[in-house]
Amino acid sequence: MLVAAFALVLSLDTAVVRDVEVAPGELLRTTSIGSGQPIVFIPGIFGGAFGYRKITAAMSDLGYRCIVVEPLGYGSSAHPSDANYSFAAQADRIGQALDSLGASGALVVAQSGGAAMAYRLVYRRPDLVRGLLSIDGGPAESAGTPGLRHALRFGGFLTKLFVGPGTLRKKVRHDLIENSGDTSWVTDDAVTAYTAGQATDVDGSIDGLRRMSKSREPESLRERLHESAVPIRLLIGMAPHPSGIKPDEVELLRAQLSDFEVDSVAGSGQYIHEEQPEAVIAALDRLAVVAGITPTVAAHQAEGTSQPTPP
């Protein structure tokens, strides 16, 4: 366990962190680890690159270039109060960031609200995506989701002056526990890391979240999903959790997507990448094969063949 923990810390310490400006005042925090075929990670509102550390450490060791892109208003990205926070605008910003980083033809991993952006990225920028893995994230039609409105309960106008980093961490801890099956990962250090980006700008974060809740989409995702031409996989945690994907959203994906499958993960809630990271890694390995991406180093070692040169 000590060796594994050291590897996780080392991978984050050796990561390349870059803030990409996609418009005046709009900076997206990106974190890159490793080299080779790109895997792009889109987090939920909290957690940023830290939230995917167990996956990026493993996948970079297998010969992938792991890139975490934090959407505007999320994590350590900028939190402007006057930006367009629609999911479509967020997807376009992520595309701009990937263009800046020279990443295309990637596998994309997205969790919670980040998945709603990823579903749009698939058909808006098909050159960037070869496969999508959604971690308990549904095809939300608006950024003003129930989960976001739930998060805003601590940030009403009248209470804004009384919300500080401590209050923020307490609220996020409650939500992480409420939406996890195995809550042992929700430690003080994890909560601090999950809220680090917002804690440095609590007022700006609240303003950004409020703006998100009022955003309007330029198009219906339901009417565009069928344009997705890549394999899309969904991992669902089977432990009860209030913010998870809804059954009708799963059925919509089944009806609209030509290459779609669902895998359930017993004992996990919405944070499968924290609770059972091996399930996410296995799902990524399967997705890579379906997407026609060079098998991982681990697969070649198991077969006793030479390792391929990462593309």
pLDDT recorded at residue 2: 33
Which range (77-86, 222-231, 234-243, 291-300) has the least confidence? 291-300
pLDDT tens-digit map of 62-82: 999 999 999 999 999 999 989
pLDDT recorded at residue 163: 61
pLDDT tens-digit map of 287-310: 999 999 975 444 444 444 434 443
In percent, the amount of the chain with pLDDT more than 90 equals 72
Region 248-270 average pLDDT: 97
Is residue 308, in this structure, part of any structural domain at all? no
Question: Phi and psi dihedrals of 121, rounded to 5?
Answer: -60, -35
Is residue 60, in this structure, part of any structural domain at all? yes
> Alpha-carbon Rg of the chain, whole angstroms?
18
pLDDT recorded at residue 152: 56
Is residue 105, in this structure, part of any structural domain at all? yes
Closest CA to 249 of 115, 155, 66, 65: 115
Helix axes 53-61, 277-290, angle to 10 degrees: 50
In percent, the amount of the chain with pLDDT more than 70 equals 84
| CA–CA gap between residue 191 and residue 59 (Å, rounded) | 24
Helix axes 202-213, 165-178, angle to 10 degrees: 50
pLDDT recorded at residue 297: 46
Counting the structural domains of the chain, the total is: 1
Residues 6+ apart with CB under 8 A from 138: 115, 116, 245, 246, 249, 250, 253
How distant is the alpha carbon of residue 166 from its chain centre? Answer: 24
Is residue 171, in this structure, part of any structural domain at all? yes
pLDDT tens-digit map of 122-173: 999 999 999 999 999 999 998 866 556 655 555 444 345 446 788 889 989 9
Is residue 309, in this structure, part of any structural domain at all? no
pLDDT recorded at residue 202: 87
pLDDT tens-digit map of 83-99: 999 999 999 999 999 99
CATH of the domain at 184: 3.40.50.1820
Is residue 310, in this structure, part of any structural domain at all? no
Bridge partners for 107 per DSSP: 39, 131
pLDDT recorded at residue 122: 98
Domain that holds residue 115: 2-303
Is residue 191, in this structure, part of any structural domain at all? yes
